[in-house]
Amino acid sequence: MASPDARRLALLDPHLLGAAALASLRKLSPRHVAANPVMFVVEVGSVLTTLLWLRDRVLHPAGAAPGWFTLSVSLWLWFTVIFANFAEAVAEGRGKAQADTLRKMRRETVARRLPRSGGAEERVDASALRKGDRVVAEAGDVIPGDGEIVEGIASVDESAITGESAPVIRESGGDRSAVTGGTRVLSDRIVVRITADPGQSFLDRMIALVEGASRQKTPNEIALDILLAGLTLVFLFACVTLVPLGLYSRIQLSTTAVVALLVCLIPTTIGGLLSAIGIAGMDRLLRKNVLAMSGRAVEAAGDVDTLLLDKTGTITLGNRMATALLPMPGVRVEDLADAAQLASLADETPEGRSIVVLAKERYGLRGRPVHEAEHQFIPFSAQTRMSGCDLGARVVRKGAVDAVARHVEALGGRVPAELREAADRIGDSGGTPLAVSDGGKVLGIVHLKDVVKGGIKERFDRFRAMGIRTVMITGDNPRTAAAIAAEAGVDDFLAEATPEAKMKLIKAEQARGKLVAMTGDGTNDAPALAQADVGVAMNTGTQAAKEAGNMVDLDSNPTKLLEVVEVGKQLLMTRGTLTTFSIANDVAKYFAILPALFVATYPELRALDVMHLASPFSAILSAVIFNAIIIVLLIPLALKGVRYRPLGAAAVLRRSLLVYGLGGVVAPFAGIKLIDLALAAAGAV
Ligand SMILES: Nc1ncnc2c1ncn2[C@@H]1O[C@H](COP(=O)(O)OP(=O)(O)OP(=O)(O)O)[C@@H](O)[C@H]1O
Ligand SMILES: [K+]
Ligand SMILES: [Mg+2]
């Protein structure tokens, strides 16, 4: 995914196929196959029939099945295991190719480290960087490791990671401060505090992910595995008990025939494709530039009921800029500008910086010299929803209107009625009002403007069609929230939400049995991202958000969850339909093999011989061949996934049962008959 070439890997690239063929032989090792109970039984059958063939060649026992028959069955059983391994290897191979491209990016970079004791920067190897180190990166430099910008603003080329060539802005403070090692600074100069030790970086984790190195079976896969193992056990007993039954009826059942029957009856199709389906699901997400940290998250995405999105930076563009100052009656606008600037001098958030700029450009206030000793800066927090500074006894604050009103009243001041009116007007237009106070006096309001991202309404309509409820959560006031919610077309919103309130909302939904997805970017979103069943962090977001979520969207597109949900649903449907198909398939094989075993002794069984196959040997061999080939034929479907249509769950189930259930019953009759005809025509049977 690092380069457009890698991204455009064909589904069945010849290069990959060669490597996958080799890998599927390596995967014959019993240790690997043992993880898959169905295929383990097939491999045991392959070994057993091979030994039988060897024994017959040496000992020529009386009444043994013909050597060519035993050998053919044995070979096709080996092919069955190899084909299943091949499916998995092809699915993994696509990730491996991407990992190789990513590894090339991790080439050695030189870091310009600032010594902790101060002094001039030193050049060190990027691999020598540790958490907490501070490094400088200027135009042209490759950022040597993951980190958070602590100083400056820069445009960064992240195409190496995202494949997107447009440069992005990264800046200190606020929710766009995270940078990724391996990306390149295009302009300006930044100081970055490293947040990952060597081997733990985003790129390292991405490589491990795409390689499938960190892949674990999901709870659903384990449940299905148990079901398949159970079915295998049932058929194993059924087939083993056929032997004494046959002896009683004086039929000498050949072991090869019994093994063939067993393999045809156990769910080899889904058993062989199950892990490929899971790997391919994560891979499809990766192609959409979403990194899923676990297969479980992808599955959960397929069943999501409620989607929570934060407002600023997710639904809106995210740079709230100060555009106007509204003084309260009797306050000079210059005094308001002065206090607003004072309250923002040390505020590194985009909001804070834009206020300083506005005061300077519109009201001619030069940035004043800051005397650290006299100024005590109060940084913004999501709890207080205020920031500002204390100058000796003077207390200057700016922040959410209700927060500042409470603060002023606590100081014994009075809140003018005009404050609410002005704030409501700004809120109704979708802007964010920030009240400014000096001591117990409210001076006025700063109007922060933000813009709803384009095309977002249409996408929320699609969520609705899928039956997913969208809820916007924001720390902003209810008026602003309502205006933005209406413009963006979300179903519901929660305003003045603290990080705890976001958590509580998620937990309440989950308590009602709903699966919750959350997209966010800010540090204050991190707890909620961790609590949600699907937590999609924006790549532009803070390190904390990226670590808390179980997915990262490299494009930082809040509606990407649509695609994530589709991939999740596709994954669940693909697994469901192929399970249906696999089990339905067995019916036909039963009718092919059973008459073949007994019809010579019991002519009455001829009624069951619906297929009229050339001979009992041909019947058994044809069924085994079909059973192996169907795995290969279904690999493309397992990798691409069945097509997803936004229909209700019941309609989807009905359709899938009809197509794959009925198809699964009918297809093998035709397939086995064709193979039988071909074998007969070739004179093989
Ligand atoms: N730098 C700042 N100084 C003072 N107050 C601020 C600052 N930034 C935001 N606020 C106020 O705090 C409120 C909460 O802001 P915050 O960015 O935490 O919202 P949030 O919970 O992240 O939700 P969202 O990002 O979706 O709007 C804002 O609505 C605003 O009134
Ligand atoms: K089977
Ligand atoms: Mg936010």
Q: Which residue would you say has higher pLDDT here, 174 or 340? A: 340
- pLDDT of amino acid 2: 38
CA of 473 to the centre of ligand 3 (A): 9
Instruction: Report which of 59, 82, 77, 85 is spatially closest to residue 259, judged by C-alpha positions.
Output: 77
Residue 3 has pLDDT above 60, yes or no: no
Residue 480 zone, left/alpha/beta (φ > 0; ψ -120 to 50; rest): alpha
Structure tokens at 103: 């590894």
Q: How far apart are CA 36 and CA 377, in angstroms?
A: 61
ipTM confidence:
0.93
Q: Which residue would you say has higher pLDDT here, 283 or 332? A: 332
Cα separation values, 195 from 42, 252, 366, Å: 49, 71, 35
In this structure, is the dihedral angle defined by the CA atoms of residues 510, 515, 519 and 521, taken in order, positive or negative? positive
Tell which one of 317, 344, 380 to mutate to probe ligand 1, the residue whose CB is within 8 A of the most ligand atoms.
380
Q: How far apart are CA 189 and CA 155, in angstroms?
A: 9
Residue 347 assigned to a binding site:
yes
- What percentage of the chain reaches a pLDDT higher than 90? 44
Q: How confident is the model at residue 372 (pLDDT cuts 50, 70, 90)?
A: low
Q: How confident is the model at residue 643 (pLDDT cuts 50, 70, 90)?
A: confident
Q: Which residues, 6 or more positions from 147, have their beta carbon under 8 angstroms from its beta carbon?
A: 135, 178, 179, 181, 192, 193, 194, 195, 196, 543
Instruction: Give residue 175's Cα distance to chain centre.
Output: 21
Residue 587 has pLDDT above 90, yes or no: no
Task: Kindly report the protein residue whose alpha carbon is nearest to atom 18 of ligand 1.
Answer: 382
Task: Kindly report the protein residue whose alpha carbon is nearest to atom 6 of ligand 1.
Answer: 399
Task: Kindly report the protein residue whose alpha carbon is nearest to atom 31 of ligand 1.
Answer: 400
Q: How confident is the model at residue 1 (pLDDT cuts 50, 70, 90)?
A: very low
Task: Kindly report the protein residue whose alpha carbon is nearest to atom 23 of ligand 1.
Answer: 474
pLDDT in tens, 218-231: 888 889 999 999 99
Residue 381 assigned to a binding site:
yes
Cα separation values, 592 from 253, 582, 587, 632, Å: 16, 16, 9, 21
What number does the ligand 1 atom closest to the CA of 433 have?
31
Tell which one of 397, 404, 424, 476 to mutate to probe ligand 1, the residue whose CB is within 8 A of the most ligand atoms.
476
Query: Which ligand is nearest to the Cα of residue 588, counting in written order?
Result: 2
Q: Which residue would you say has higher pLDDT here, 107 or 24? A: 24
- pLDDT of amino acid 369: 58
Is 310 among the catalytic positions?
Answer: yes
Residue 107 has pLDDT above 70, yes or no: no
What average pLDDT score do residues 624-639 get?
Answer: 94
Contact at 8 Å (CB) between 80 and 630? no
- pLDDT of amino acid 273: 95
Q: How confident is the model at residue 632 (pLDDT cuts 50, 70, 90)?
A: very high
- pLDDT of amino acid 203: 78
pLDDT in tens, 189-219: 999 999 888 788 877 877 777 776 666 788 8
What average pLDDT score do residues 575-596 get?
Answer: 84
pLDDT in tens, 492-546: 999 998 888 889 999 999 999 999 999 887 777 888 899 999 999 888 777 788 8
Residue 680 assigned to a binding site:
no
CA of 382 to the centre of ligand 1 (A): 7
pTM of the shown model: 0.77
Of 310, 338, 450, 533, which residue is the catalytic one? 310
- pLDDT of amino acid 4: 39
Write the burial class of residue 123 (CB in 10 Å: 0-12 exposed, 13-18 middle, 19+ buried).
Answer: exposed
CA of 177 to the centre of ligand 1 (A): 16
Task: Kindly report the protein residue whose alpha carbon is nearest to atom 5 of ligand 1.
Answer: 399
Tell which one of 351, 358, 523, 529 to mutate to probe ligand 1, the residue whose CB is within 8 A of the most ligand atoms.
351
Q: How far apart are CA 215 and CA 210, in angstroms?
A: 9
Contact at 8 Å (CB) between 156 and 141? no
- pLDDT of amino acid 462: 85
Report residues whose beta carbon is within 6 angstroms of any ligand 1 atom: 310-313, 347, 349, 351-352, 380, 382, 385-387, 398-400, 432, 434, 474-476, 497, 522, 524
What average pLDDT score do residues 546-565 get?
Answer: 85
